[in-house]
Amino acid sequence: MSKLYGGIEAGGTKFVCAVGTGPDDLRDVVRIETTTPEKTFAKVIDYFQKQAAAGNEIASLGIASFGPVDVHPESETFGSITSTPKPGWSHTDFLGTMKNALQIPVAFDTDVNVAALGEQTWGAAQGLDTFMYLTIGTGLGGGGFVNGKMMHGLVHPEVGHIRIPHDLTKDPYPGSCPFHGDCLEGLACGVAMKQRWGIEGQKLPPNHPAWELEAEYLAYALVNFICTISPQKIIMGGGVMQQETLFPLIRKKVKDLLNNYVGSEAVQENIDQYIIPPELGNRSGILGAIAMAKQI
Ligand code: ZN
């Protein structure tokens, strides 16, 4: 019998847990509400133990976690959620708790790096070694690969918190980030959209001026990433990106802002295939976690 693998996509509102081997073989998927670390972890462990008892025993586990997290294997706190503003979750040993309870090898990385791995393994980034995966939802984050490796460094990229131009006469909203106010996340995440317009992003009609402004902020960010990381593709997922109006608006603004400077047909001629939604839809993260478990 072929081996089975486990995945956890841990978010601030829910944990998705799954058992399987890939996109055509996810045998079981469950959603668990994120409460306290103790209660949430207990339910996650119980899930995998019950799966094992039912014959779906996993050989290894991949964790895609919200952050900030410690992604350095040589660090004493590797696999921990570090200084998150989410109450009760700071300095939580995620990887260690799972390893001790399940007694199997566990791999761990950021939710966005792992989603990027999912897209590289089975989705829109197959064959690419330098690309980005961004999620624009309640929060805004990004990761990906550079030269074939997941983006790590001093800690891990925090691309949601870069600074972009903010014209206060056009958009007086001060921004939602508790650390920086009007950083990229503070201006363009789902929470910012709701606070600025008084209505949730998903409920704003496609012709609402909100989308033009949203596209402008995201285009500024993308131009910065294109000029620094030189990604071969940029994949954009998350709740806010479900508004289909956004993609053509962002692509046009990115082209205008680059002004023919970056010498690649990908951005000059084929931008429709360059800035794209995830091919795995909302399963990039959980499938990436399975892919990471398989690599152990
Ligand atoms: Zn910020």
Q: What is the DSSP string of 148-181?
A: TEE--SSS---GGG------TTT------BTTTB
Fold entry, domain 126-277: Nucleotidyltransferase; domain 5 (3.30.420)
pLDDT per residue, tens digit, the chain (296 aa), is 589 999 999 998 999 999 999 999 999 999 999 999 999 999 999 999 999 999 999 999 999 999 899 999 999 999 999 988 788 999 999 999 999 999 999 999 999 999 999 999 999 999 999 999 999 999 999 999 999 999 999 999 999 999 999 999 999 999 999 999 999 999 999 999 999 999 998 899 999 999 999 999 999 999 999 999 999 999 999 999 999 899 999 999 999 999 999 989 999 899 999 999 999 999 999 999 999 999 99
Q: How many residues does the chain have?
A: 296
**135 CA → ligand 1 middle, Å:** 15
| Burial of 182: CB neighbours in 10 Å, binned 0-12, 13-18, 19+ | buried
Cα dihedral 241→125→229→178 (10° resolution): 30
Residue with tokens 């309640």: 138
**258 CA → ligand 1 middle, Å:** 25
**207 CA → ligand 1 middle, Å:** 28
**176 CA → ligand 1 middle, Å:** 8
* Cβ neighbours, 10 Å, residue 287: 29
Predicted confidence at residue 261, as pLDDT, reads: 93
DSSP strand pairing (25-33 vs 80-81): unpaired
Pick from 279, 186, 211: which is nearest to 219 by CA? 211
CATH superfamily, domain 4-114+282-294, is ATPase, nucleotide binding domain (3.30.420.40)
Are 57 and 51 in contact by the 8 Å Cβ rule? The answer is yes
Predicted confidence at residue 84, as pLDDT, reads: 84
CATH 3.30.420.40 region(s) of the chain? 4-114+282-294, 126-277
**161 CA → ligand 1 middle, Å:** 4
**284 CA → ligand 1 middle, Å:** 24
**86 CA → ligand 1 middle, Å:** 14
